[in-house]
Amino acid sequence: MRSPKTRTVYAILASLVGLVGTLVWPAAAEASIISATGTAELVQGGDYAEWYKYTYDLTWDLARGLSHWDLILKPGCTQPDHQIVFETALGGPYDGLSTGDGWSPGQPVVFTVEGMFKPQGDPSINFTAPLVKWEPDETYGEPGKTGAGQFWFYANILPEMGTFDNVVAAKFGTDKVFGDLTGAYPSCQTIPEPATLVLLGLGGAGIVLTRRRR
């Protein structure tokens, strides 16, 4: 019987295979592009209970091999009470999976990457806003010119939904390109503590009682 972690890895690989299987790659890209879709799942138990797991499915088609990619955050995410945590920081194996150099549709997705929070930005793209950066495991080399991947982190930050322009960035060679994100994006508002929720509930109940007395 497979362990829960093994089943999780198989599920990630299956979802990535489904993702890359639906993509149509142009024979010759006119411009380098990158785009992402995001989800935020409330964690029910374990080390990150009541936090959100942010997951991003990314696709890219670049003039050179992808060096790394960034998720650009709002300035408020640098506040001390905002926490962004990666599995590798706690001894986990990786923070994402992607295709590798020379990959083509139908081949396995086994390339592992490491995530990190960069409050001062990314000097390699001359960007100073806070961001999350995912870098490949150097064992495998670069992820390649064209590919897809899934990447994640945990945070005590509430998500907002929508389409967000130019909040993902790809570094390839000496060049960079920005793209859009559709779906979940960190709002940079923290999850209220349980005690705060109780107080908010009591306050709401007090308002209701006051209205009834009038």
* For residues 70-74, average pLDDT: 98
Q: What is the pLDDT of residue 138?
A: 73
Determine the structural domain holding residue 187 and report its residue range: 4-213
For residue 90, name the pLDDT band (cuts at 50, 70, 90).
confident
**CA–CA distance, 62 with 43 (Å, rounded to integer):** 34
Q: What would you report as the CA-atom Rg of the chain, rounded to the nearest whole angstrom?
A: 20
**CA–CA distance, 119 with 2 (Å, rounded to integer):** 38
Number of compact structural domains in the chain: 1
The pLDDT tens digits of the residues spanning 140-167 come to: 667 889 999 999 999 999 999 999 999 9
Give percent above pLDDT 90 in the chain.
Answer: 58
**CA–CA distance, 132 with 113 (Å, rounded to integer):** 13
pTM above 0.85, yes or no: no
| pLDDT of 4 above 50 | no
